[in-house]
Amino acid sequence: MSAVPAAPPASPPALELGAELQRFVDHLRVERRLAERTLAMYREALLRLQASAAAAQPAAVALPAAQPHHIRSWVGQLRLRGLAPRSIAIALAAWRGLYRWWGRQGLVRVNPVEGIRPPKAAKPLPKALSVEQAVALAEQRTQHGSTAEAPQLAARDHAITELLYGCGLRVAELVGLDRVASSSARGWVDAADATVHVLGKGGKRRSVPVGGAALAALQAWLDLRATLADADEPALFVSRRGTRLTPNQLRNRLQAQAQQAGLPTRVHPHMLRHSYASHLLQSSGDLRAVQELLGHASISTTQVYTQLDFQHLAKVYDAAHPRARKR
């Protein structure tokens, strides 16, 4: 039996650009002042274009004479060679720019790349912690050394983590919370009603239930907050200097907690929002309710968590079902 021929390599052949293509690259470098990395990607894309035109069947195609069906064919070849959608998009951008430049010089009448779109790239699934990891993180008390304000900062970080995981808040929503409700507040926690009110994307307000663990952690922080914040500071969460906590400060503190909790992955605030949504969906199966709690305008945005839920169920099946494992 004859061997199956190997697929052609995805990388372009080691060729020099033709004079006209090199002139375009020089134009991008000198007049457009593109970054070296961008120039390198464009040059590679132009090498692919040059090679595809030279190898066209039944006869080579002069690049200024290329038509849309040629471009579509060459894009199809890139896909067959395993080139990623993002790389194909970069190639099309380079090719489109070349023909526009030629058009301004009167070398071509029509840009054959206009209207040709790259294949859609699969959207990566959001990363979520397991239930065990999320609970371990929420219960982790950050160590701040022996400074006088260490208990306050530990209580603050604990309350933040409980609210992020317990309510699915965005980082901007959390740092925007004020200590008390007011007409100017972007958000606040109503402990008596066990709800947090936030101003989300698009200026839309929503209310989310707050669990007992988050309320207890919040009260522990409020008992110590006055030792860091002035009486007239409206922010619920403040830094050691007494000013409203910034998103970057929050991200750094959360990562420190994750490391101390021994989590094997880099944790960011939005990961806790993903975990909140995924774990709710696993338990309830109510996609509409999760949409409302997250403040998504469209349920299609929320549906990504059904894929995370399916992954979780598949892992449970693989681990538990007697017919799932190979003998």
Is 305 noted as a catalytic residue in this protein?
yes
Based on the domain organization, do 164 and 289 belong to the same domain? yes
Based on the domain organization, do 284 and 228 belong to the same domain? yes
Sign of the C-alpha dihedral computed for residues 211, 212, 217 and 222 taken in this order: positive
Q: Which among 72, 201, 204, 315 is annotated as catalytic?
A: 201
Is 270 noted as a catalytic residue in this protein?
yes
Based on the domain organization, do 306 and 208 belong to the same domain? yes
Q: Which among 170, 186, 225, 253 is annotated as catalytic?
A: 170
Kindly state whether residue 164 falls inside one of the protein's structural domains. yes
pLDDT digits (tens, 9 = 90+) for 192-201: 999 999 988 8
Could you list the residue range(s) of the whole structural domain that residue 140 is in?
131-320
The model carries a pTM of 0.59
| Orientation angle between helical segments 68-80 and 85-104, nearest 10 degrees | 150
Is 206 noted as a catalytic residue in this protein?
no
Q: Which among 48, 273, 274, 279 is annotated as catalytic?
A: 273
Kindly state whether residue 210 falls inside one of the protein's structural domains. yes
Residue type, 298: S
Q: What are phi and psi of 188, to 5 degrees?
A: -165, 165
Of 87, 104, 121, which residue is a domain's last? 104
Quote the CA–CA distance of 255 and 266 in Å, as a whole number.
Answer: 7
Kindly state whether residue 246 falls inside one of the protein's structural domains. yes
Quote the CA–CA distance of 210 and 219 in Å, as a whole number.
Answer: 12
Position 13 scores a pLDDT of 52
Q: What are phi and psi of 126, to 5 degrees?
A: -65, 145
Phi-psi domain of 173 (left: phi exceeds 0; alpha: psi -120 through 50; beta: other): alpha
Based on the domain organization, do 164 and 298 belong to the same domain? yes
Based on the domain organization, do 155 and 256 belong to the same domain? yes
Sign of the C-alpha dihedral computed for residues 88, 89, 90 and 95 taken in this order: positive
Residue 161 near residue 269, CB atoms below 8 Å: no
Q: What is the DSSP string of 117-182?
A: PPPPPPPPPPP---HHHHHHHHTPPPP-TT-TTHHHHHHHHHHHHHHHHHH---HHHHHT-BSS--
How many Cα atoms within 13 Å fall on the side-chain side of residue 184? 2
Q: Which residues of the chain have pLDDT under 50?
A: 1-9, 11, 145-146, 310, 312-314, 316-317, 320-321, 323-324, 326-327
CATH, residue 228: 1.10.443.10
Position 311 scores a pLDDT of 52
Based on the domain organization, do 307 and 160 belong to the same domain? yes
Based on the domain organization, do 173 and 316 belong to the same domain? yes
Kindly state whether residue 55 falls inside one of the protein's structural domains. yes
CA nearest to 240, candidates 175, 317, 151: 151
Kindly state whether residue 109 falls inside one of the protein's structural domains. no
Kindly state whether residue 267 falls inside one of the protein's structural domains. yes
Based on the domain organization, do 93 and 206 belong to the same domain? no
pLDDT digits (tens, 9 = 90+) for 128-164: 888 888 888 988 765 554 455 588 999 999 999 999 9
Based on the domain organization, do 136 and 88 belong to the same domain? no
Helix (H, G, I), strand (E, B) or coil at 89: helix
Based on the domain organization, do 100 and 168 belong to the same domain? no
Q: Which among 141, 179, 270, 312 is annotated as catalytic?
A: 270
Max Cα-Cα span within the chain: 84
How many Cα atoms within 13 Å fall on the side-chain side of residue 205? 10
Is 296 noted as a catalytic residue in this protein?
yes
Quote the CA–CA distance of 220 and 152 in Å, as a whole number.
Answer: 9
